[in-house]
Amino acid sequence: MRGAALGMVCLGLVLTQAPGADRLATAAAGEIRCSNGDAVLVIDQNPWRLRLLDRDGTERFAEAEAPAFQVGGQWISLGRVDLAESGDPTVARLRVQLGDKMTAMADVRRAGPSGFRVQVRAEAATITAVRGTAALRVVEEIYGFGEMWNGHVAQRGQAFDLWDRGGTPDECAFMPYYVSTNNYALFLNYGGRVRIDVGQHRSDRLVYEATARELDLTLVRGESLPGTVRNFLTEIGLPQRPPRWAFKPWFWLMADPKQPGAKIDTLRGEHFLEMTDKLHELSIPIGLTWFEPPWQDARTTFVPNPEFSRDMPGLVRQLETRGVRTLAWTVPYTTKTASNWKEAVERGYLAAKPGAMTDGGAVKLSATGELDGSYYNAIDFYNPDAVRWWQAQIDRSLDTGIRGYKLDAGQDLEPDARLHGGRLGADVHNSYALEYSRTFFGVLKQRFGGDFLMVPRAAWVGSSAYTNFKWPGDLSGSFGNNGLPSSVYSSLSLAFSGFPFVSTDIGGFDDQPAPEAVWLRWAQFGAMLPGMQTLHMPWWYSPEALTHFRYLTWLHTDLTPLWNTLANEAAATGAPVCRPLVWTFQDDIDCWRVDDEFTVGESLLVAPIINGNPYREVYLPAGEWFDFWDNGESVHGPARVHWFKGWAARDKFPLYVREGAILPLEVTNDFSGFGWAESAGFVTLAIWPKATGASEFTLHDTEAPVRITVARDTDEELLIRWDATQRNHLLRVHLAGGKPPVAVQGPAGVLPRYGSLPEFRRGDDGWFFDAPERKLWVRKRSHGAAVTLSVRFGPATP
């Protein structure tokens, strides 16, 4: 984590020990070298120029020109740099010329396993901005910058300001961080406005400019995009994992659900019970809801509103008996009508208005409950006393039984606000979101361990270490640029920034109910994210739409073992659950600018339909890809295909399964098509074996990791193995062609063959081959032991 003691080793330098000081001298004329693992930072001495190399000398990053400070309205570049004395062996201190008369000091430290942090501070008191450049190669792509709303995931050729703002969409998770296909990442540690030009003005340069008064850079290398992101997150904090129950669908309300489009003040606690019961009647799963603003008696007291519910703890318990966890909505501010307003003002716990302690505390709200206007009522999360005061109120609210918070807002800190420690709102406008999440996370972690959920709107670099989910804020219920398409692009851009657990408001927020076509296409996208949520009630739509939505909710729910396995991987490595194609297929340059496709893990490829057309072009990387809807169809990639299932086919979308896939599911009914009620109590493994060769998957769900392998060396035998486990397995093996199975051998002998699927469903260990569907079903209880199954193939028998 940043702020911990960081070591430093300088290559090619002679260390001379003297009483009370360490003296460093360069061995190579004209440059200073520092190493960290396999990374080498080179600083050219005259003038300053940074380069990040592999240990073998391969260049990953290079400044196109020396960084510059704006002093008195004039840009002055860093000049000659020399080593200076440092009393700290973990720091390399440098003296840097800044123009003819000024001097800057730079400190270099290790950052993570393969990176460096470089901080440059100048003596001039009139510095108003910093600027830097990175050289762009002819063949190179850039990703990151947080949650991007410009219609792109690959950002080369774009220019934009990183400055959070509310609206539709809510642009509230911009981050001055990016990662390159040249396998390095750069982070500019400044929480205010940053202007970025990714090769738009000059195709060979990335330029950043910030209204900062010092330059604070972190540079990290890796062996690949995933390795680079992992190395960076190791320095700033790896993501927190959500609880397993968070992977069931989320439903929430903004008003009386019997009145679509009703005002927020019609919302009452009993509506959540009615909603849950109605969903159960429709056989639609629900695992989570949250109470919107009317739950508390004022913004923001954390005190239940008796008009919303006379017994909020009882309401929460009733929902929990129905299998539903509950969160509460909150914001990072308080208002004049709140019982804690006076104390907040008197103790100086709020962001101060210039020339006054604060403003009057009165606020104007929109019809949907959003702040309308500019205010100075934000909690000063930089003030330790204010944080403890706010956390005490959060902690008391948890006595109601809620299991976490939906953190709304956080992107509206006024630029001229005054905060603790002399900070200005302009300098922490974006990074304020990090402190907001950190404040809530501390309380929830202490109370619940890991069994809670946080869903913030706003975020910044490092926020994922203090939350376990992210939602994008308010969107239009349309196919427009502020609707479904932007949710796809923004969710995928977050993949590179350390936010593996994302969700989206299916159907958007501004239009209730959203048009049916929009809601359905959005639901298809949302079902393939780890968090599936909507505030649009399924019974508002046609029976056909409801049926398809029910299917999607069960497909999402049945995939819980997969979601949880990928969640454990994400917490350990920072790998996103939903991965832009370049994440897995970096060597395929045709994947680099595919902005609207992703894989769930490595095996399911999703290409959402984000407009009114029933067709779209899909890029499939190398490998054999089976059509999810018709396993008899497959495409050998790399290939571009025109996906089309008919003009009226709204119940399908481009979804492909990679050859070799092993997908774990937890099935309790027949809605998803992966099993039946008899599947309950088993882990269903849906397998698409390779024609030749082996594949594996490590299931890390409710017990220690269990390695599963599937191998075929000839067309006569298929071997399926799994490690010792307390869970039993039900296999659904897709056999693309060739000879049919004639026998299945288990550890204790040949398994019995059932004559029909109904017999298999009712039976014990054994197998059945569904010849028309080309699916082999096998049931095998593990009894806590490792298992190897041998499937033999031969001529069909009568």
**pLDDT, tens only, 446-477:** 999 999 999 999 999 999 999 999 999 999 99
DSSP 8-state symbol, 171: B
pLDDT of 258 over the 70 cut:
yes
Confidence of residue 151 (pLDDT cuts 50, 70, 90): very high
pLDDT digits (tens, 9 = 90+) for 408-438: 999 999 999 999 999 999 999 999 999 999 9
pLDDT computed for residue 20 by the predictor: 32
Is 562 buried (19+), middle (13-18) or exposed (0-12) by CB count in 10 A?
A: buried
Mean pLDDT across 243-262: 93
Tens digits of residue pLDDT in 43-98: 999 999 999 999 999 999 999 999 999 998 999 999 999 998 887 888 999 999 99
pLDDT digits 0-9 by tens, 207-247: 999 999 999 999 999 999 999 999 999 999 999 999 999 99
* Residue 480 main-chain phi, psi, to 5 deg: -75, 175
Q: Is 686 helix (H, G, I), strand (E, B) or coil?
A: strand
What pTM did the predictor assign?
0.95
Residues near 161 by beta carbon (within 8 Å), at least 6 away in sequence? 193, 194, 195, 196
pLDDT of 174 reads 98
pLDDT, average across residues 357-371: 68
Handedness of CA 763, 769, 775, 776 (dihedral sign): positive
Band of residue 42 on the pLDDT scale cut at 50, 70, 90: very high
Per-residue pLDDT tens over the stretch 508-559: 998 889 999 999 999 999 999 999 999 999 999 999 999 999 999 999 999 9
- For the cut 90, the answer to whether the pLDDT of residue 359 exceeds it is no
Q: Is the pLDDT of residue 282 over 90?
A: yes
DSSP secondary-structure letter at 165?
B
DSSP 240: P
pLDDT for 1 equals 43
Question: Per-residue pLDDT tens for 378-406?
Answer: 999 999 999 999 999 999 999 999 999 99
Q: What is the DSSP string of 582-646?
A: HHH-TT-GGGTT--S-EEETTTEEE----SS-SEEEEEEEEEEEEETTEEEEEEEEEEEEEEE--
pLDDT in tens, 156-211: 999 999 999 999 999 999 999 999 999 999 999 999 999 999 999 999 999 999 99
- Residues of the chain with pLDDT > 70, as a percent, come to 95
> What amino acid is encoded at 518 in this protein?
V
Run of H or E residues at 21: strand 21-26
Q: Check if the beta carbon of residue 45 is closer than 8 Å to that of residue 81.
A: yes
- For position 664, what pLDDT does the model report? 98
> C-alpha dihedral over 661, 730, 562, 586, to 10 degrees?
-10
**The predicted structure's pLDDT at residue 29:** 72
The pLDDT score that the predictor gives to residue 798 is 53
pLDDT of 133 over the 80 cut: yes
* Average pLDDT estimate for 287-291: 98
- Contact status, residue 386 vs residue 309, Cβ threshold 8 Å: no
pLDDT band at 797 (very low <50, low <70, confident <90, very high): low
pLDDT of 593 > 80? The answer is yes
CA–CA separation, 643 and 221 (whole Å) = 38
